[in-house]
Structures are given as structure tokens and as C-alpha cells.
Amino acid sequence: MADGAVVERDVVDTVLGFARTLRHAGVGASPDRVEAMLAALGRLDVLDPSAVYWAGRLTLCSGPDDLDRYDTAFAAWFSGRRPRPAPAPAQATPRLAASAPLDPGTGEGDDSDAPDLAARASGDEVLRHRDVAGLTDAEREHLRRLFALLVPAAPMRPARRRRPSAHGSVHPARTVRRALRDGGEISRLLHRRARPRPRRVVLLIDVSGSMTPYADALLRFAHAVVRARPVSTEVFTIGTRLTRVTRELRLRDPDRALAAGGQAIPDWSGGTRLGEVLKAFLDRWGQRGTARGAVVVVCSDGWERGGAELLAEQMARLRRLAHAVVWVNPHKGRVGYEPLTGGMQAALPSVDHFVAGHSMAAFEELTGVISRA
């Protein structure tokens, strides 16, 4: 804080107030970042609004998503207008019965709401935060026990990096290091070889209205996969928009992880725009590396409200990037199911494995498909 000390007191108050506004807007302006902003201001002209703008933006923001919020908060705070405090997500009024309170054990059964929800699914984004632990007690207990038993194995890929091993090619560095210890005598050759590494698994889970009865189970499945391989797994939810929930699902406890995931998903039970959202995923994450060489699992019923053409195009693109594409459709488990929806028809040519995902048995089968993909 040596630099910050020269900054005057009212500047400090102004900056602290601004940081509070920013946190309301959803930018994680932590105290150490605020300290950095003050230090930066100490090096710049405090009376120059543009210098203040940059001092804050460079120190308080941590990603492109933060920049718009920063601009809005900056304009609001430094123009003297107090921004309306954003309503905290927890206070948002639940609009549907499925928005059970966070307290576990009082939730209503979701399945009975399902047809109603499916009927309500619309292009409009239904912005609400559902407690995903809100199943009936019996169901939740049942699923929890079963998911605890699920140990998904990761698919493996050959690695370039070689590690010490009893067999393989000679490891010169280790051999010589050993020789140095033995007084310069090479008494033994040490070896190294490549060991396979886990391949990345990307799960894209449809949380739109028509998938509501299955979304809980699919997220629990995703949690089991993340728990098994936290580093090489990515989970996104798709609906009217794309949300990355990997970080939330890394929480150890499944119920807390799912509650956190549920909080993070803004478009729960909304409509579906698979093609558009898949494109957003590929543009922002997939093409840059997340889907490259990965096993990508799309969990959806293929109920597409947008054009099927865009979906077909994006699925083809996904297939070119991914090592394997798995499509999980809960309805496939039903007797007599035919993939007739436009979305499914568009997607199937670009899918390597088409599997069911409606029961625990189907999930166990799915782990096998993923690990062999």
C-alpha cells in the first residue's frame, strides 16, 4: 500500500464505493484488487477521468465478461447517479412450483410438473433460479445413493510427454544423475516412456423446459464425472443461452454442487435454441481448445425451436473438432422411440454414439461409452 498511501482520503472513499457498486453488478472486485486500483491511481492523474477509468478497469476486471458491467457501473458511479442495486438472485420471485426453497426435504416432486413445464416452454427466457435439490425425499435419497456408486472412467489419449518408467527408451538425464551419485559410473540404464493421459470430457446439458424431468439427474451425472476427473472435465448448460457450470460442480458435496449450479443457470426451463447455443459454445470455447480432441457429450432431446439447419451445421463443426461426439437423449429409452424431431434429424449425421439417458442403468452404460470413445 506504499503507493496507495499518497492517494487522498476522499479518493479512497470514492473508490471503495465504486467497488461496492461493481460487486453489485457482478464483478468480483476483491479487496486486494481494490488495493491495486488505489496503487495504480497513485501513479496516475487522479483528476483525469480517463486515467481513473483505466486504473479501475485494469485492476478490478478479470475477463471480457466483466468489461460491459464495468463500463455501466463506472458511468453510473462517477456521473453521480446512484445505480439501482441489482436484485440479488436469491430474492427473485419464483414463478413456477418447481422453484422449491433451498432447504432440502421440502421440495415437491418435479415429475408431476413436467407436462405443465413442457407446455410452458417458450422462446422467452424464463429467468429463474431453481433449487435442483428439490426432489421428493425418497427420490433424492435413491439418486444420491446410486450416484455415489457411479465411478466414471475417463477416456485416455496417448501423451507426448514421457515419464520415468521401468521400460521404454533410455532416460539420459536420470541415468546420468544416477551415475553422478555413483561416482561417475553408469551402472544402470534408467528408462522413460509415454503414459496415456486422460482425454478431456465436455458435457453439454440441455436445461430447457422439455428436459426439466431429466436435468437434475443429468447434472448429478455431470457432477460424478467432474468429481472423478476435476481437471479434464468441462460442463456447460444449454437452453436459451450457454452457461459454464464446471466451477460450481467442483464442490465435493453433490447437493451443494447442484444448488450452486442451479444458481448459476439463468435460463432454467426456458426454451431451446440448440443451434445458436452450440454455435456460442464453439465460438467461445470449443474452437479455441475446449472441444479439440475431447469427447463431447450432448444431453438433449433435440427439441429445437430455431432452424434445424444451423444445428446441423454446428454439429458438423463440432464433429470436426471433437475426438468423438456422444448424444444422450432420455427419450431414446422409451419403447418405440424414433428420432423424428427436426433437431435430432439434423444432429444424427454428426453423432458417433447415440444413447439413452433416462435411468441409472442408462447412465452406467453411458460411462462405458464415454470411457471407450
Partner 1 sequence: MSEPTVPGSPDQLAAALEATGYLPDEGLATAAYLALVMHRPLFLEGEAGVGKTALAHALAQVTGRPIYRLQCYEGLEASQALYDWDFGRQLLHLRAAEAAHAADDPERLEASLYDRRFLLARPLLQALEDSPSVLLIDEVDRADDEFEAFLLEVLSDFTISIPELGTVRAQTPPLVVLTSNRTREVHDALKRRCLYHWLAHPDFDREVAILRRRLPEVTDQLAREVARATANLRTLDLLKPPGIAEAMDWATALHTLGARDLDPDLAARTLGAVLKYREDTERVRSLAPEALVGG
Where on the chain is the footprint of partner 1 (CB under 8 A)?
3, 28, 30, 32-33, 36, 39-40, 43-44, 50-51, 54-55, 57-59, 61-64, 67, 159-161, 172-173, 176-177, 179-180, 183-184, 231, 244, 283-284, 287-290
Q: Is 20 or 174 the residue whose CB approaches partner 1 more closely?
A: 174
| Cα distance between residue 21 and residue 76, in whole Å | 9
Least distance (Å) from partner 1 to the CB of residue 290?
7
In this structure, the chain runs to a length of 373
Nearer to partner 1, 57 or 191 (CB): 57
Nearer to partner 1, 14 or 287 (CB): 287
| Residue 227 or 358 having the CB closest to partner 1 | 227
- With beta carbons less than 8 A apart as the criterion, state whether 350 and 320 touch: no
| Minimal distance, residue 229 CB to partner 1, in Å | 12
- Amino acid of residue 32: D
Task: Give the nearer residue to partner 1 in terms of CB position, either 160 or 252.
Answer: 160
Identify the residue whose cell numbers are 453439454: 204
Residue nearer to partner 1 on the CB measure, 14 or 175: 175
Residue 163, burial from CB neighbour count under 10 angstroms (0-12, 13-18, 19+): exposed
> Among residues 370, 253, 264, 265, which one has the least CA distance to residue 323?
370
Cβ atoms of 371 and 155 within 8 Å: the answer is yes
Buried b (16+ CB within 10 A) or exposed e, 269-278: bbbbbbbbbb
Decide if 308 contacts 278 (C-beta within 8 A): no
User: In the block, which residue shows the cell 430455431?
Assistant: 306
CA dihedral in degrees (204, 210, 216, 222; nearest 10)? -10
Indicate the residue among 183 and 336 with the shorter CB distance to partner 1: 183
Whole-number minimum distance, CB 64 to partner 1, in Å? 5
Quote the strand ranges of the chain, DSSP E. 156-157, 162-165, 169-170, 191-194, 197-198, 201-206, 233-238, 242-244, 295-299, 324-329, 353-356
**Which residue lies nearer to partner 1 by CB, 149 or 231?**
231
The nearest distance, CB 43 to partner 1, in angstroms, is: 5
CB of 212 to partner 1, least distance (A): 28
**Closest distance of CB 125 from partner 1, Å:** 21
Q: Nearest to residue 225, comparing CAs of 295, 327, 138, 302?
A: 295
- Find the shortest distance in angstroms from Cβ 266 to partner 1: 19
User: Are 132 and 261 spatial neighbours (Cβ–Cβ below 8 Å)?
Assistant: yes
Report d(CA 305, CA 314) in Å as an integer.
Answer: 15
Name the minimum Å distance from CB 320 to partner 1: 11
Grid coordinates representing 321 are 473438432
